[in-house]
């Protein structure tokens, strides 16, 4: 399996990249992002591209993939809807449309969304929901992952200040929360492994909540 990964430097993306490099069934990983991951591995190739809204200069390198794992995302805190829609909906759909042009309909596209997506009263949820619906209507096999709290494992840290502070302050409580409410918490390891499993033989359900992610994790 050849995988293209967007967002490999983020907390979720770091976990997904780790699992892809560890999985013998993943033969090649292309990480595309605005900055380098700092990782070196025989299976890993990187494209550092500062403008992800314009993929034309690198389009010829985005073909022949079996799966795209899309882990890019920003917090909506402090953003108006137009700006959040641009970095959430416009960027994601622009990437997806490019991949449709250069890959077969057998491509699997896995999108990291969020718990609570689809509530039209909440700005971030509304935009995420529109993004999910657009991806599900595209001519590839699409899966929406809606994790709640994601526990970073194996030394992975978020580059987003708010998330980093959250996990620093509350990190020790996450295992307790998981025992009390297992459907609220998953891990970077489980998210990565489930993405790979979806690309291999995904279930008919195209929207996966935290409980689904944990149930499918190998």
Q: Cα dist. 27→2, 20, 41, 141, 192 in Å? A: 6, 9, 11, 20, 15
Contacts of 215 (CB under 8 A, 6+ apart): none
Residue 181 reports pLDDT greater than 90 = no
How do residues 98-115 score in pLDDT, each as one tens digit? 999 999 999 999 999 999
Among 81-90, 156-165, 171-180, 204-213, the minimum mean pLDDT is found in: 156-165
Summary mean pLDDT of the chain: 92
The tally of CA atoms less than 13 A away on the side-chain side of residue 166 is 12
pLDDT the model gives residue 165: 64
Domains of the chain by residue range: 2-216
- Give the model's pLDDT for residue 161: 63
H-assigned helices in 66-160 = 81-85, 91-102, 123-136
Q: What is the pLDDT of residue 147?
A: 95
- Counting residues of the chain whose pLDDT is more than 70, the rounded percentage is 91
Backbone φ and ψ for 206, nearest 5 degrees, come out as -90, -10
**Strand, coil or helix: 57:** helix
The whole-model pTM stands at 0.92
Query: Span 2-216: which CATH code?
Result: 3.40.50.720
Helix (H) or strand (E) holding 15: helix 11-22
């Amino acid at each position: 399996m050849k995988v293209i990964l967007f967002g490999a430097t983020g907390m979720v993306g770091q976990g997904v990249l780790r699992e892809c490099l560890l999985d013998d069934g993943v033969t090649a990983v292309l990480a595309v992002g605005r900055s380098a991951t700092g990782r070196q591995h025989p299976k890993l190739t990187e494209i550092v591209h500062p403008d992800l809204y314009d993929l034309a200069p690198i389009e010829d390198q985005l073909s022949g993939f079996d799966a795209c794992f899309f882990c890019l995302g920003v917090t909506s805190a402090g953003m108006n809807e137009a700006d959040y829609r641009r970095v959430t909906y416009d960027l994601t759909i622009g990437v997806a449309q490019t991949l449709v042009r250069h890959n077969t309909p057998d491509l699997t596209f896995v999108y990291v969304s969020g718990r609570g997506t689809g509530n039209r009263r909440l700005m971030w949820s509304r935009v995420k929901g529109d993004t999910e619906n657009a991806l599900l209507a595209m001519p590839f096999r699409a899966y929406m992952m809606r994790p709640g709290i994601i526990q970073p494992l194996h030394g992975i840290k978020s580059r987003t200040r708010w998330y980093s502070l959250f996990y620093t302050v509350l990190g020790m409580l996450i295992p307790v929360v998981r025992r009390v409410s297992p459907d609220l918490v998953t891990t970077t390891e489980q998210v990565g492994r489930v993405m790979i499993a979806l690309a291999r033989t995904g279930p008919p359900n195209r929207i996966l909540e935290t409980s689904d992610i944990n149930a499918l994790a190998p």
